[in-house]
Chain A
Amino acid sequence: MTRLVGPRGLSVLIFIGLVALALGVVGWFQRNNGVIPPLPNYSSAGISVHLETLV
């Protein structure tokens, strides 16, 4: 019977999981301080807004 995840795959997943955990700790401590600006809005409505400004 073969295992779903081998030893190398498990090592990679554990490493990535710890990296993600560290990123989560960083995110938790800056959840409210506004260090990072909000994401830009790439909604398709943007083009219609742009066209409205041209008319």
Chain B
Amino acid sequence: MSTGWASGGPRSRIRPPAARAGQLDVGAISAEWAPTAGRILLGAVFFWFGYHELIQPGHWTQYVPVVSESSSLAVVLVLAHGWVLFVTAAALVAGIAPRAAAAVASVLLLEIVISLAVTGMSDTAVRDLGVLGLAVCLTGCKNQRLALRG
């Protein structure tokens, strides 16, 4: 009994009409490049917050839970957080282990959302919940474009 396809195999059946005609396939292009765009934009957000946490930690110590915001420990914690954000941002933008970087970003954002939510749901917490969704989504994206390999 033959198991071959009678009419050229499954790929020829699911090929969209636009690709057959040689036209621009917007759906395929967006599916290919959207994870890269999301990754770079998420990296830009991480760069901004990481840079400002590193340069002016005194303005971010109010977000450190439990620890007094005027203590040196709070400044050190903000600096460490900013360092992780900065390096994660570089990994996201350059595409260095992009899925692992997105997983780290998810953990960081989950920590941020929780620390903001315990003080009451603010507009900042809700916004970060959406950014967390982007990071989680990127964690599952394989075969990303503009990734640094080797």
Contact = CB atoms under 8 A, between A and B. Distances in A.
A44 interface: yes
Contacts of B50: 20
Contacts of B51: 23
Nearest to B123: A44
A22 B131 CA distance: 28
A27 B54 contact: yes
A27 B59 CA distance: 11
Contacts of A19: 86
Nearest to A23: B54
Contacts of B52: 39
Chain B contact residues: over half helix, strand or loop, or mixed?
helix
How many chain A residues sit at the interface, stated as a range, is 20 to 34
A9 B82 CA distance: 20
B91 interface: yes
A5 B96 CA distance: 6
Nearest to B126: A44
Question: In the complex, which of the residues A5, A13, A20 has the most CB atoms of chain B within 10 Å of its own CB atom?
Answer: A20
Interface string B43-80: 00000001111111111000000000000000100010
Contacts of B53: 27
A8 B79 CA distance: 26
B149 interface: yes
Given A13-B87, A28-B79, A31-B58, 6 more contacts: A4-B100, A20-B54, A20-B86, A23-B55, A30-B56, A44-B123
15 contacts: A6-B149, A9-B148, A12-B90, A12-B148, A20-B83, A20-B87, A24-B54, A27-B55, A27-B79, A28-B57, A31-B56, A31-B58, A36-B56, A39-B59, A45-B123
